[in-house]
Amino acid sequence: MHRHGYKGRKFHRERDQRRALIKGLADSLVKYESIETTLPKAKEIVPYVEKLITKAKKGDLHNRRQVISGLQTIESAHKLVDQIAPKLLGRVSGHLRIVKTLARRGDNTMMARVSFVDDLTEAPIAKAAVPVTPKPKAVVAKKENA
């Protein structure tokens, strides 16, 4: 049997369970900004969350609703759109990184840490508005030609 046209990993789960797993992992990634999971799950979740970040960066109502439907909780969807996406505007793609960690002790499964490439704690969300007072202009006396 050939493997043409089979896209994605199944994780020994049915479709609805697999979708719930990916939504839950994406939700945790947005909530905690870094998660540790198995390497195949990490490789599957990165393109999923990258697409959500692209939609969150647009930020209009339709894309916000699509982000809400792509994550498990509304709070994490609003966090992605309102807090995380403005900090990632300087980058077009490649917002997430996968770093392999140690193998899990029980079953020797390769583990990986998924996190954002940019440090989200340093970038300000919005700066406080400082009232600007205009400087008084110097009055220049006009010379009259007599």
Q: Considering the domain boundaries, does residue 137 fall inside one?
A: no
**Other beta carbons less than 10 A from residue 40's beta carbon:** 13
Q: Considering the domain boundaries, does residue 83 fall inside one?
A: yes
d(CA 59, CA 11) in angstroms, rounded, equals 32
The model's pTM is: 0.80
pLDDT, residue 28, reads: 97
Average pLDDT for residues 87-111, to the nearest whole number?
95
**Confidence band (pLDDT; 50, 70, 90) for 53?**
very high
Q: How far is CA 50 from CA 102, 116, 130, in A?
A: 25, 10, 35
Determine the 3-state secondary structure of 90 from DSSP: coil
Residue 85 has pLDDT above 70, yes or no: yes
109 Rama class: left (phi>0) / alpha (psi -120 to 50) / beta: beta
Q: Considering the domain boundaries, does residue 90 fall inside one?
A: yes
**Confidence band (pLDDT; 50, 70, 90) for 7?**
confident
Instruction: Please report which residue ranges of 33-134 form alpha helices under DSSP H.
Output: 39-58, 61-70, 74-79, 85-87
pLDDT, residue 124, reads: 55
Residue 68 has pLDDT above 70, yes or no: yes
Q: Considering the domain boundaries, does residue 105 fall inside one?
A: yes
The pLDDT tens digits for 21-39 are 999 999 999 999 999 999 9
Residue 2 has pLDDT above 90, yes or no: no
Q: For the domain that residue 111 is a member of, what is the CATH number?
A: 3.90.1030.10
Residue 106 belongs to domain spanning: 15-116
pLDDT, residue 125, reads: 56
pLDDT, residue 119, reads: 86
Count: domains in the chain = 1
Q: Considering the domain boundaries, does residue 59 fall inside one?
A: yes
Print burial letters for 48-74: b (CB count within 10 Å at least 16), e (below 16): bbeebbbbbbeeeeebbeebbebbbee
Q: Per the structure block, which two tokens stand in for 105?
A: 């002790």
Q: Considering the domain boundaries, does residue 25 fall inside one?
A: yes
d(CA 146, CA 113) in angstroms, rounded, equals 83
Q: Considering the domain boundaries, does residue 134 fall inside one?
A: no
Q: Considering the domain boundaries, does residue 58 fall inside one?
A: yes
